[in-house]
């Protein structure tokens, strides 16, 4: 078998990354039914997102690859904080869409990927990495040195949530 390579994604990876996001979504939501038109719309939107994200200053996509197959990935968004007097301001990382293909799970690939990301983040002097794992991911992140922090709060802005609150325009 080929050697496992950890690297940042390039434009040649867009097709595989879009397919993996699709698979990841259906794995997490088996009840979801996607029409051919919805899949085409998703594919177009995901390709556009990745074309903009890859190579930008705001996003980095790390991949683990065997040969020409991407077997795991993690998306990192660099978040600049508002400067504060008397303190150097360093960006933090929002890590999302962390996924390992099912047949490659349990081999330590995800752990190696998070270690590479941690080392890279330290070298660039980012302040911290934040991730909101699904319930099944909490043990993985704890095992890899992440700790629970304050629960974020959110305000849903979708039409459906406004209807539920009885406050839609």
- In tens, the pLDDT along 132-141 reads 887 778 888 9
Distance CA 23, CA 46 (A): 13
What confidence category does residue 52 fall into, taking pLDDT thresholds of 50, 70 and 90? very high
Distance CA 120, CA 130 (A): 15
pLDDT at site 168: 40
Helix (H) or strand (E) holding 122: helix 109-123
pLDDT at site 161: 55
Domain ranges, ordered by start, for the chain: 4-165
Percent above pLDDT 90 for the chain: 71
Q: Hey, is 74 helix, strand or coil? A: strand
pLDDT in tens, 79-131: 999 998 998 899 999 999 999 999 999 999 999 999 999 999 999 999 999 99
**Residues sharing a CB contact under 8 Å with residue 54, sequence separation 6 or more, in sequence order:** 9, 10, 11, 13, 14, 61
What confidence category does residue 7 fall into, taking pLDDT thresholds of 50, 70 and 90? very high
Tokens at 94, concatenated: 């929002």
CATH topology of domain 4-165: Aminopeptidase (3.40.630)
pLDDT at site 6: 97
- From the list 98, 61, 65, the residue with the least C-alpha distance to 78 is 61
């Amino acid at each position: 078998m080929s050697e496992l390579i950890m690297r940042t994604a390039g434009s040649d990876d867009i097709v595989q990354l879009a397919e993996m996001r699709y698979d990841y979504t259906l794995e997490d939501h088996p009840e979801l039914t996607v029409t051919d038109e919805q899949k085409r719309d998703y594919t177009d939107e995901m390709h556009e997102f990745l074309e903009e994200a890859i190579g930008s200053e705001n996003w980095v996509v790390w991949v683990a690859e065997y040969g020409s197959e991407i077997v795991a990935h993690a998306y990192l968004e660099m978040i600049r904080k508002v400067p504060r007097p008397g303190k150097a301001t360093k960006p933090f990382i929002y890590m999302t869409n962390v996924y390992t293909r099912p047949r490659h799970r349990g081999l330590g690939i995800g752990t190696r990927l998070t270690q590479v990301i941690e080392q890279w983040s330290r070298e660039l002097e980012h302040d911290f990495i934040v991730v909101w794992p699904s319930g099944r991911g909490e043990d993985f992140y704890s095992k890899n040195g992440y700790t629970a922090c304050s629960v974020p709060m959110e305000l849903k802005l979708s039409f459906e949530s406004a209807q539920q609150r009885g406050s839609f325009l």
